[in-house]
Structure 1
Amino acid sequence: MPAKSTASKRPDAARRDYRPAAERRVEIIAAAQAEFIRANFAGARTREIAVAAGVNQATLFKHFPTKEDLFEAAVMRPLIEAMQGMHGRIETYESAETPAEMGELARESTTRHLEDMQRVLPLLTTALFSDLESGRRVFQEQLDPLIRARGEVLSPLAKEGLSAEFLGLASFGMMFAVALQRWFGGRTDELSTTASQFNRLYTTGFAREKSSSRDK
């Protein structure tokens, strides 16, 4: 009697579906980012996240016991890491001795800042506006210190009368506005052009010098 094949006993389907835990975690985080951005924290459903990640809810909760844990990993952590990276690059400006030198140092760095802001904008708005109280904590504990630190770096090169706090807010606010325009306004031009205008504004200001009538 021929030996019975063991092929039917091998869990081929299970093996095909198997993914390492680290890979599953990455896929869950990616699915969670998309769901939190789409529906905000309150509206996001772990069931939808699990389906998008190709896992069941038991597996999802094994990696992230609560929706709050998942929000932290998918939204807060990558956002803060990106913002800290932006601050780290702006510290290169400290080696500049004149506004012109700062402009040279800042060209590539400013372009990367703008790229980063555009990339993290959905995470930023989700973190700030999903929940009012949570957003307030995010701003006060995470975002505001980075904005102030940015201003402190720029302050030594600024004109008298401009506070470090204002410089940080102005820099962050302009980059945020550019990211909004590109996400919602459909702008697709090169960011390097915008970066050059940023640096020109940083180093020379935007007010046109008017000639005195007495000079005419």
Structure 2
Amino acid sequence: MPAPSSARKKSNAPRREYRPAAERRVEIIAAAQAEFIRANFAGARTREIAEAAGVNQATLFKHFPTKEVLFEEAVMRPLIEAMQGMHGRVEVYEAAGTPDELSELARQSTINHIEDMERILPLLTTALFSDMEAGRQLFQQRLEPLIRQRGEVLRPLAKSGLDPEFLGLASFGLMFAVALQRCFTGRTDDLSTTAIQFNRLYTSGFARGKSSSPDNED
């Protein structure tokens, strides 16, 4: 009996499902995000990323020539875009016609910001702590300017004497802390109450009274 031809052998081999290049790119990025979050930059393996995305390494490197480029596209770019999107615009608050409308706009805006922070938290920690020197550069060159910009957004709403840069940092830190708690405790409760607490803290502070404040002592 004659041996099957190579052409027949090839035709019987399972075919890789065709997917458009743009779709493959999205799948590679999603797989890379999961792997970078799991193993950090140094421990991530492109072979495992390719397998998770359903492609071979040649295809992965066709889209992303190096692991560094893949990290930039999968982690850094969405992180920075999300941080930029978290900056509320003063015009939104100025559009409110009544105190109740302002309160509702502020509540929903805060909920959106916390949800954004919760979503990007794994990418943020991966980008900052995969490599300490790279994380330092990321914070100084890319994140800190965004935090300062957030402070400038809050400047027109702030009481006299408050440093806008500190306000931006405090706002970022509070949302980071809430996102961290929800991530590691599995909390999924409605954020409305948290947002109201945030905005109450922003507008009136937390101190019970002023008479005992060191700033008021002679």
Contact kept, 8 Å, 1:90 with 1:150, in 2: the verdict is no
What amino acid is aligned across from residue 160 of structure 2 in structure 1?
Answer: E
Using the size of structure 1 for normalisation, the TM-score is 0.86
Cα distance 1:100–1:208, how it changes in 2: closer, same or farther (>3 A)? farther
**1:3 counterpart residue number:** none
Cα distance 1:154–1:84, how it changes in 2: closer, same or farther (>3 A)? same
Deviation of 1:8 (Å): 8.3
Contact kept, 8 Å, 1:36 with 1:44, in 2: the verdict is yes
Contact kept, 8 Å, 1:99 with 1:157, in 2: the verdict is no
Q: Which runs of 5+ in 2 are unaligned?
A: 1-6, 213-218
Cα distance 1:109–1:175, how it changes in 2: closer, same or farther (>3 A)? same
Contact kept, 8 Å, 2:29 with 2:74, in 1: the verdict is yes
- Mapped to 2, the partners of 1:38 and 1:175 lie a distance apart of 23
Cα distance 1:196–1:21, how it changes in 2: closer, same or farther (>3 A)? same
Aligned partner of residue 144 in structure 1, secondary structure: helix
Deviation of 1:185 (Å): 1.9
**2:209 counterpart residue number:** 209
Contact kept, 8 Å, 2:87 with 2:153, in 1: the verdict is no
State yes or no: 1:195 paired with 2:195: yes
Cα distance 1:98–1:168, how it changes in 2: closer, same or farther (>3 A)? farther
Aligned residues: 206
**2:4 counterpart residue number:** none
Larger RCO of the pair (alpha carbons < 8 Å, separation 6+): 1
What amino acid is aligned across from residue 180 of structure 2 in structure 1?
Answer: L
- Mapped to 1, the partners of 2:155 and 2:134 lie a distance apart of 30
Q: Which runs of 5+ in 1 are unaligned?
A: 1-5
**1:138 counterpart residue number:** 138
Deviation of 1:92 (Å): 2.8
Using the size of structure 2 for normalisation, the TM-score is 0.85
**2:128 counterpart residue number:** 128
Contact kept, 8 Å, 2:46 with 2:57, in 1: the verdict is yes
Contact kept, 8 Å, 1:103 with 1:203, in 2: the verdict is no
After superposition, the CA RMSD in angstroms is 2.6
Cα distance 1:76–1:179, how it changes in 2: closer, same or farther (>3 A)? same
Q: Percent identity?
A: 79
- Mapped to 2, the partners of 1:144 and 1:99 lie a distance apart of 32
Deviation of 1:84 (Å): 0.6
Deviation of 1:140 (Å): 1.4
**1:81 counterpart residue number:** 81
Could you list the structure 1 runs, at least 4 aligned residues long, displaced by more than 6 angstroms after superposition: 6-9, 96-101
